[in-house]
Amino acid sequence: MAENLNFAAKGSRCYNDSIAYCGKYGRLYDWVTAMVLPKSCINDMCALVDTKYKGICPTGWHLPNEAEWGVLTEAANVTDACGFSFLPSDCGRYGSRLSDVGYLGSWWSSSTCMNDNICEISNSYAVSIRVSYNDKTVYFRNSFKINLYSVCCVQD
């Protein structure tokens, strides 16, 4: 998809808590909502997620794993061949005020192992990517599952 997912799942939020921003920036989801896993997975170890994990994505699409994010970021930052421009939609912890729209964005990955060797380093972490508008640098990192990040889906 060339845009952030905008599926109104329970617990998802929009920038400034305004529906008007959903169309431009999409919605923000915690990890278990994005993955369609039980809420207990916020604080508990969950099974590792395979490639092409559908999660909240529509039929025929899936959340990108770490390797697929690598391909997407290379295409978007070098040629933008896929039309995905990393629109920074903000990020935040559930219940916090969102304020970095347009400057910072984070997206969930279906990978629970960063660099194939750190699997859910804590019960409360999963892998995400972060992109800064200013320098277009892409960071893979372990993030709290309770954080609210965007979702991008790739076609199966």
Q: pLDDT digit string (tens) for 7-45?
A: 999 989 887 788 888 888 889 999 889 999 888 887 776
pLDDT at 120 (0 to 100): 47
Please compute Rg for the chain using Cα positions: 14
Structural domain range at position 54: 15-155
pLDDT at residue 87 greater than cutoff 50: yes
Alpha-carbon 5 to chain mean position:
9
Give the residue-averaged pLDDT of 114-136: 68
**Which residues does residue 144 pair with via DSSP β-bridges, in sequence order?**
125
Give a yes or no: residue 8 inside a domain. Answer: no
Give how far Cα 25 sits from Cα of 10, 19, 85, 104, Å. Answer: 17, 10, 12, 12
Assess if residue 141 is contained within a domain.
Answer: yes
Q: pLDDT class for 89, splitting at 50, 70, 90?
A: low
Closest CA to 90 of 136, 25, 138: 25
Instruction: Examine residue 58 and state whether it is found in any structural domain, yes or no.
Output: yes
| 108 located within any domain | yes
pLDDT at 77 (0 to 100): 64
Distance CA 118, CA 26 (A): 29
Q: What is the rounded CA–CA span in Å between residue 104 and residue 88?
A: 5
Please indicate, yes or no, if residue 6 is contained in any of the structural domains. Answer: no
Domain-located, residue 77:
yes
